[in-house]
Structures are given as C-alpha cells and as structure tokens.
A and B are shown apart, each in its own frame.
Chain A
C-alpha cells in the first residue's frame, strides 16, 4: 500500500490544490510534498527489512489482462527518493514568490509529481505508458502558461517530440504484448524469447522514445529552448527528474526486455551518446545565456549516463544509478541560483553580469560548490558516479572512454568560465544591487550542499541501493553473454 500512497498523495492533493487560492495553495502543496517525502523515506526503511511488502497488484483492465501493478526495487527507490526530495526543495525555493493563478500552478506541479512517481513504480507496461504520458501533460501546461514569451511554440515542440516518441513505444509495447501469453507485466515481458530480428527493430521503437526524453543527440533539439523558456521551478522538474524517465525507461524496460536488441545496437547508441557529449559541451562553452549553458551541460551529462547504460556492465550501471540521483540534486541547485540571479537582476546573459561575489558572498560560495559538484570533483557527490561510469565505459571500449573523458575537461572549462563571468571581475551598476539569498532559498541550498558533501564523503547508502538488488537479473545475463 505504501507504493500506492506515493502516487495517490500527490494525485489527490494536486486535484484539491486546483481549488485553492494564492498562499493556501502554496502551503498546502508544500505540506503535500513533505507527506510524500515522509512516505518515501518510510518506504526506504521498509525496503531494508521487507522489500516484498512494497509490491501491490490490483485488477485494472480485465479485458486486456492489464493490472495496476506497482513495486519498488533499488533502481526505482533511488528515483522515487530523488523525486520526493526535489519537490519540497523546489517548493521551498519559490515559496517567497507568488504565481498568477497559484492554485493551478501548484496543482499541476503535484500532478506531474504523481505521474513521475507512477513511471518509476509501474511494473505493468500499459500502466507505465499511462503514467509516462500523464507526467507530460501537466508539464506542457505549466511551461506554456507560466513560461517566457516564446514558451507556447517551444513547449509545443517539446510536446509533439515526446508524444511522437512515446507513441512509437506504444506500438512496441503492443507488439510485445501479443508475443506474451497475454500480459503486460514486467515479468511476462522480460521472460520472453524474442527472435534477434524482432529485437533489432523493437529496440529502435523504444530507444527513440527514451532518447527523446533524455535527450540523446540528435533528438535533443527541443531541450535547450524548453529549459530556457520554462518557469524555473518547472525547469528543475524537467532537468532534475523528468530526463531520468528516459534513463529509467532504458534500464527498467529496454535492457531487460530486449537484451539482444541492446547487444546489437549498443555501439550505435554509445556513439550517439558520445557525440552528444562532445557536441553539447562545445556549445556550452560558446553560450552566453546562463540558462542555455546549464541546459547544454545537462545534455552532456545525460549523454554520459546514456553511454554508460549501453556499455552495460556492472560498474557502469551502478554508476548511472548513483549519478541519476546526484545529477538531479546538483542541477536543481544550479537552477536555484540561476532563478535567484534572474529574479533579482532580470537578466540571463552572462556578459551583463560580473562581480556578484562581493555583493552576495553566500550566493557565490554556494554556486561555486554546486558547480564543482557538477564538474564531479572528488569529495563532491558527482565524483563517485562519474568514476564508476568511466571505468565501466573503459572496460567496454577504452576509446569511447577516452573521448567521453574529454567531457570532464570541457565541463571544467564552461563551468569555471561561467563562475568567472558571473561571480568575479568588475561589478557593474546592475550587479552591484544584488542582494544575498533569502531564508527559503538559503534553506533549500543548504539541504543541497549538505547532500553534496555527505554523499561525496560517504556514498555507501546510494551504492547499496544501486548494487545487488537494483541490478535486474537480465542485465547480469547480458554481461555474461
């Protein structure tokens, strides 16, 4: 029942929030997100003692033999925790702001949370698809309604991209369904023996859907614009959690269901991912727009994770899982600072910034820490995941690891340049007016920095989740092949 609660709490509170006004909606949704967090932590504790108690099955569509089947394992628990932690952080950050039509804003945020949690928990392919789309619809409205002046066309592009991709995945799901003895359950899907030819083309139906969501080069074109135009809290959801849906989809569904397909195409997928890493890093270096810089840096990071998944050995898979969590935390931290700068100075272009450090020292220190975590410096949380991913990739093919390794250097280039342009140097009339972080922002950032250091020093809890239980047997089967 715990797992069902995880979906029900944001869903029901989200619907209620639509009816609330201004501050009420704000407080109510914050409370709701804390309730979800509490349940998630409780589920984590429960997972250590009795993991079986977290499975739940109920009849849904008897005509199709599709079930409402949810459950938790290490992989989904990691992402559930990330989702549960992120939403309170986001709500705290924007607590001092008041949104037009706040009831709808917070209601949609909570609905997207419900969709995301559903995606991570679903063990039934049709249910998974259901939540996959459900997470998208609220985000579409959030971006279009509260986004920048170009938000409507940009978000629409995003919507059509992902919608087209997920429909292809639906065709794949339907096809596989007819090969099973009539079941959508994950167990039925993974125990199939599809022929190599079938796996080969089915791979692409699924891969495109997930690649668009991640996004992997060349399916990434929706991403920078959407990140730039969305209201920052939504960008945090998009970049922190939603992109993980794609990675999660590959790990939960693609690799276990189509192991041969993955084996056949892994090289192609890695090549695309590595191209994406280098390409996005180079563009990030050239960016002057703060939001776009972070967007491209995110593409590069996701590319590395995707490459590591398809390298598909124990280390790289464990690394991806750890990194999914840490990347989410770090990038939300980055967006919080960007949000602060944008709110205070009404400017996103870095050429107009500079010298903020002298006027807002706390902001400067925190931004430096988060940026260094984003570069994956040792003793920050980013390090362990990247290390595992690179060593996994190296085992697969040293050349890929070498080229992808450039990303670390490039990341240092663009992140440090960003720090230099924004924080240091001469301050101008505009940046001299910068005020430091307020209580809510400070609280959210303090939590994030705490996570960065704690997991940087002591990543064992995450690694425990990522190894053993989290590793689906099918992945292990591919490794031995």
Chain B
C-alpha cells in the first residue's frame, strides 16, 4: 500500500520538479531515486504484512504475491530508467512529465496485483491506460505517433466500455463487487454471470493484446516513440496479465466454473501463439518484430491463465520478470541503433562486442533457451498447463511455436555476428554498458536459480 502511495505522490512531485529543474539529466536521476524510494516502501510493506495478507476496506489486498510482483515491476522500471532514461529527452521537451506519467502507470501496475474489488480493477486498468495514450502520442510532430495515440485511445476506450459492462453484469448476477465474495457456486452459471465473465475475458484479452484482440498492438507499438514502447510492451503488459490472472484465479474458480471459460481462453491462447509467432517471422524492422514478439510472448503468459493453478502464479511472476528485463534490454540496445531494420544490426558484434553479447543473452532468454530466465519462465507456465490436465494439445502447440520464435530472435543474432556490415550506433557510455551487464546478470542468475525470486512467494 505504501508503495502505491509513494509512486503516485512521487509522480505529482516530479511534475512540479519539471517546473524548477531544467537539467534533463538531473530529472532522470531524480526519477531513478524515485524507483529506489518505491522499492524501499515496498520492502516496508513486506515487513508490515509479515507474510500474511492485509485487506484494506475490501478494496486493496496486500499479499505476498502482490508485494513480489510490485518488486519485479519496480526493479524493471528502475532498469528501464537506467537504460532508456536518457532517450526520454529525444522525444520532446517535457521530460519531467514523461517520467511523472511513468510513475502514474507504475502505481496502477501495483494496483493490478492487489485489487480485491472490481472497481479497483477498473481503476487500475484506467490508471495504466490513460497515461499510455498520452505517451504514445508524445512525439507530437510525428504523424505515426499521433496515429498510434488515437488508435490506442479509440480502441482502448471502447474496451473500457466492455470491461465496465462485464463488471455491471457480474454485479447484477452476484450483488457484489468484491472478488472474494462473488459466490458463483460450483455448478452451472446464470446467463448474466456467464456473459459478465466472457466480457471481462475479452476486455482483458484486449489489454494483454491476445489474438483476435491484438490488432492495435503492432501499430501502436510501432508508432509510439520507441522508448515508451519499451515500457508498454513490458511492465504494463505483465501488469495486465497479473490483473487477468488474479481476477480469474480468485473469482472464477471452483467446481465446474473453470470449465465454462477455460476452453475460450485456451482457444485465444492458441490463436495468439500462432498469429504472434507467424507474423513476427515476416517482419523487416526489429521494432515491429518486437511488437509481434510481444504478442507471441503474451500467448505463453496466457498459459498461466488457462491453467489457473498455483504453479501458474509462480510462472506468471517469473515470466513477468524474465520477459520485462529481457525486452527492456533489447529495446535499450535498439534505441542506440541508427537503423531499426534487421540489416541495421549487421556487424554489431565487431563494433560493439558487449552490446551484441548482452542482446544475444536477452534474445536467447526470450526464445526460452536454458541458462536464461526465459527458460524457467516458459517451463513454469507450460508445467502449470500440464498439471491442469487436458491441455496437452495446447502445450505441444506452445513448444512448436517456441521453436518458431527462435527463427526471428536468431535473425537478430545472425545479423549481429555473422553478417558483415557497419552497424551504426549512437555514442555509448560506460554507465549504459554497466546497466546492460546488470540486466544480463539478472537474466542469467534467474536462469540458473529461479528460486532466487520464487522463494519470496
């Protein structure tokens, strides 16, 4: 709870700091200090709760899971500021505002792991979404950025309507907004409740860019300023997933209820895996490839929702961490490239061996190769699905798609190492390299010992 308040207040403070501090570097350092502050607040929450769940007025629930996820989100944001923070000033002049908006998003992100009331879920989703609409259009003079913002806003607000409709129907069926008091029983559902669940599933599927609700994703991710895409595609996406999972795991479980929606989500998962992976294969720009890869990765994260068990929760935390850190790392390097196509990476290994090496580690992690965090992330979500039973067809489809994903991730590696070329980069500082190494070290450490993270759960 303290962490949520800290980030929200810090966002407001940052807006005012923008008025007085004109040095953009200083604002960045200030923001980094903010994430550290949020981390301390989260730690304080942890000691306060002492391992048990604390429910605040039936609205917010501070649990081990929420604290751990907050920690992951904060550390990811910290890395994001460290790696991409200096790219903020290339977007526009209002650097402090951008940082403030990211902090607002972060406070929404924390709510997604701790809401215990459907209204808080709605608030969390909106707190996340509205700053994103602004960030997507931050590059005001760029038409593509404008288009991305408008597209995102229109589709997003439409989905908000669906989300609200779902909540209203559920309220009609159960008479409560509290996710623990739904009492949907164990047998058949009333049509009202079933419609509510399905509408909620569709709205959340839109937010996590699952097929067939994914059409906004490539355009928005491609059109938005790259530095903000990096955040949207990682921490925010993971948070939407956590909200999705929390709602379905807590409220729509028990008896036969899971079976009412499981098949729909399973089909959505299959479609997401296929569309994300196959389309990513045909991209020419690394940025757009990463947009489709984020859809493909969403397919794997959906496994956690389909399987709906305890292992899925572990898998979600690991996936959130592995995917966020690796993708932020890839984006950070992408931001330093002058040419965003695959060819732009040609020969990077000769010019900047360290950049090529860490990018390789991040890409291997995204592909799910052992020794990287991505392997255990995939391992846990796939295991969860096997454990749930009856989903083996989906698991096999999943691993085949993982093999396909190797194709487009390795294209970057091939370009960097085996193609001759003069990959042009912006000037690279020692601090940037050190931060990249830190991120790579996290990926490898989690790839060797996932227990480092899971022990807190």
Residues of B within 8 A of A174 (CB): 379, 382-383, 386, 395
Cα–Cα distance between A381 and B245 once the two chains are bound (Å): 61
Residues of A within 8 A of B364 (CB): 137
From B370, B395, B402, B418, contact of A129 by CB (8 A): B370
Q: Is the CB of B403 within 8 A of A163?
A: yes
Knowing A137-B364, A171-B395, the reply to whether A160 touches B371 (Cβ < 8 A) is: no
Interface check B149, CB cutoff 8 A: no
Interface check A461, CB cutoff 8 A: no
Knowing A63-B451, A137-B364, A160-B406, the reply to whether A168 touches B414 (Cβ < 8 A) is: no
Residues of A within 8 A of B285 (CB): none
Interface check B60, CB cutoff 8 A: no
Residues of B within 8 A of A144 (CB): 414, 417-418
Cα–Cα distance between A163 and B410 once the two chains are bound (Å): 12
Knowing A61-B450, A141-B417, A144-B414, the reply to whether A167 touches B369 (Cβ < 8 A) is: no
Residues of A within 8 A of B418 (CB): 144-145, 151-152
Interface check B154, CB cutoff 8 A: no
Q: Is the CB of A63 within 8 A of B403?
A: no
Interface check B48, CB cutoff 8 A: no
Interface check B396, CB cutoff 8 A: yes
Q: Which residue of A lies closest to B453 (CB)?
A: A63
Main secondary structure of the interface of B (DSSP, over half): helix
Q: Is the CB of B403 within 8 A of A167?
A: yes
Q: In the complex, which residues 124-169 of chain A have their Cβ closer than 8 Å to any Cβ of chain B?
A: 129-130, 133-134, 137, 141, 144-145, 151-152, 156, 159-160, 163-164, 167-168
Residues of A within 8 A of B400 (CB): 164, 167
Residues of A within 8 A of B383 (CB): 174, 177-178
Bitwise interface map of B from 376 to 419 toward A, beta carbon under 8 Å scored 1, else 0 = 00010011001100001001100110110011001000100110
Residues of A within 8 A of B386 (CB): 171, 174-175, 178
Knowing A61-B450, A63-B450, A178-B387, the reply to whether A167 touches B414 (Cβ < 8 A) is: no
From B382, B399, B451, contact of A62 by CB (8 A): B451
Cα–Cα distance between A145 and B420 once the two chains are bound (Å): 11
Q: Which residue of A lies closest to B399 (CB)?
A: A167
Cα–Cα distance between A211 and B399 once the two chains are bound (Å): 18
Interface check B314, CB cutoff 8 A: yes
Smallest beta-carbon distance B290→chain A, Å? 20
Cα–Cα distance between A159 and B411 once the two chains are bound (Å): 13
Q: Which residue of A lies closest to B349 (CB)?
A: A145
Interface check A413, CB cutoff 8 A: no
Residues of A within 8 A of B369 (CB): 133, 137
From A152, A164, A175, A177, contact of B403 by CB (8 A): A164
From A60, A63, A167, contact of B402 by CB (8 A): A167
Q: Is the CB of A175 within 8 A of B392?
A: yes
Interface check B13, CB cutoff 8 A: no
Smallest beta-carbon distance A176→chain B, Å? 10
Q: In the complex, which residues 323-342 of chain B have their Cβ closer than 8 Å to any Cβ of chain A?
A: none
Residues of B within 8 A of A141 (CB): 417
Residues of A within 8 A of B407 (CB): 156, 160
Q: In the complex, which residues 268-295 of chain B have their Cβ closer than 8 Å to any Cβ of chain A?
A: none
Residues of A within 8 A of B410 (CB): 156, 159
Residues of B within 8 A of A167 (CB): 399-400, 402-403
Knowing A63-B450, A156-B414, the reply to whether A170 touches B314 (Cβ < 8 A) is: no
Q: Which residue of A lies closest to B384 (CB)?
A: A174
Interface check B215, CB cutoff 8 A: no
Cα–Cα distance between A71 and B406 once the two chains are bound (Å): 32
Bitwise interface map of A from 164 to 202 toward B, beta carbon under 8 Å scored 1, else 0 = 100110110011011000000000000000000000000
Smallest beta-carbon distance B33→chain A, Å? 34
Q: Is the CB of A170 within 8 A of B417?
A: no
In the complex, how many residues of chain B place their beta carbon closer than 8 angstroms to a beta carbon of chain A?
A: 29
Smallest beta-carbon distance A201→chain B, Å? 9
Q: In the complex, which residues 34-93 of chain A have their Cβ closer than 8 Å to any Cβ of chain B?
A: 60-63
Interface check B16, CB cutoff 8 A: no
Smallest beta-carbon distance B102→chain A, Å? 32
Residues of B within 8 A of A171 (CB): 382, 386, 392, 395-396, 399
Bitwise interface map of B from 139 to 175 toward A, beta carbon under 8 Å scored 1, else 0 = 0000000000000000000000000000000000000
Knowing A63-B314, A163-B406, A175-B392, the reply to whether A168 touches B451 (Cβ < 8 A) is: no
Residues of A within 8 A of B450 (CB): 61, 63
Interface check B29, CB cutoff 8 A: no
Residues of B within 8 A of A133 (CB): 369-371, 375
Cα–Cα distance between A163 and B455 once the two chains are bound (Å): 30
Q: Which residue of B lies closest to A133 (CB)?
A: B370
Cα–Cα distance between A60 and B454 once the two chains are bound (Å): 13
Cα–Cα distance between A170 and B402 once the two chains are bound (Å): 12
Q: Which residue of A lies closest to B368 (CB)?
A: A167
Cα–Cα distance between A4 and B455 once the two chains are bound (Å): 26
Residues of B within 8 A of A137 (CB): 364, 369, 371
Bitwise interface map of B from 352 to 376 toward A, beta carbon under 8 Å scored 1, else 0 = 0000000000001000011100010
Q: Is the CB of B396 within 8 A of A168?
A: yes
Residues of B within 8 A of A170 (CB): 379, 382, 399
Q: Which residue of B lies closest to A127 (CB)?
A: B370
Q: Which residue of A lies closest to B382 (CB)?
A: A174
Q: Is the CB of B417 within 8 A of A61?
A: no
Smallest beta-carbon distance B431→chain A, Å? 23
Smallest beta-carbon distance A58→chain B, Å? 12
Residues of B within 8 A of A168 (CB): 396, 399
Knowing A61-B451, A160-B403, A167-B400, the reply to whether A152 touches B414 (Cβ < 8 A) is: yes
Cα–Cα distance between A134 and B417 once the two chains are bound (Å): 19
Smallest beta-carbon distance B303→chain A, Å? 12
Residues of B within 8 A of A63 (CB): 314, 450-451, 454-455
Cα–Cα distance between A347 and B286 once the two chains are bound (Å): 39
Q: In the complex, which residues 383-427 of chain A have their Cβ closer than 8 Å to any Cβ of chain B?
A: none
Knowing A63-B451, A137-B364, A159-B410, the reply to whether A130 touches B370 (Cβ < 8 A) is: yes
Q: Which residue of B lies closest to A165 (CB)?
A: B403
Smallest beta-carbon distance B265→chain A, Å? 20
Q: In the complex, which residues 85-129 of chain A have their Cβ closer than 8 Å to any Cβ of chain B?
A: 129
Cα–Cα distance between A17 and B308 once the two chains are bound (Å): 46
Q: Which residue of B lies closest to A141 (CB)?
A: B417
Cα–Cα distance between A196 and B235 once the two chains are bound (Å): 45
Cα–Cα distance between A168 and B454 once the two chains are bound (Å): 26
Residues of B within 8 A of A156 (CB): 407, 410, 414
Cα–Cα distance between A442 and B369 once the two chains are bound (Å): 40
Cα–Cα distance between A174 and B386 once the two chains are bound (Å): 7
Smallest beta-carbon distance A160→chain B, Å? 6
Q: Which residue of B lies closest to A175 (CB)?
A: B386
Smallest beta-carbon distance B384→chain A, Å? 10
Smallest beta-carbon distance B100→chain A, Å? 38
Smallest beta-carbon distance A124→chain B, Å? 13
Cα–Cα distance between A167 and B399 once the two chains are bound (Å): 6
Residues of B within 8 A of A151 (CB): 418
Q: In the complex, which residues 258-275 of chain A have their Cβ closer than 8 Å to any Cβ of chain B?
A: none
Interchain Cβ contacts under 8 Å between A and B, 17 examples: A62-B451, A63-B450, A129-B370, A145-B418, A156-B407, A160-B407, A163-B403, A164-B403, A168-B396, A170-B379, A171-B382, A171-B392, A171-B396, A171-B399, A174-B386, A175-B386, A175-B392
Interface residues of B (CB under 8 A from A): 314, 364, 369-371, 375, 379, 382-383, 386-387, 392, 395-396, 399-400, 402-403, 406-407, 410, 414, 417-418, 449-451, 454-455
Interface residues of A (CB under 8 A from B): 60-63, 129-130, 133-134, 137, 141, 144-145, 151-152, 156, 159-160, 163-164, 167-168, 170-171, 174-175, 177-178
Closest CB pairs A-B (n = 4): A167-B399, A164-B403, A133-B370, A130-B370
**20 more A-B residue pairs beyond the given contacts A141-B417, A159-B406, with a C-beta to C-beta distance below 8 A:** A60-B449, A62-B451, A62-B455, A63-B314, A63-B451, A63-B454, A63-B455, A133-B370, A144-B417, A144-B418, A145-B418, A163-B403, A164-B400, A167-B402, A170-B379, A170-B382, A170-B399, A171-B392, A171-B399, A174-B379
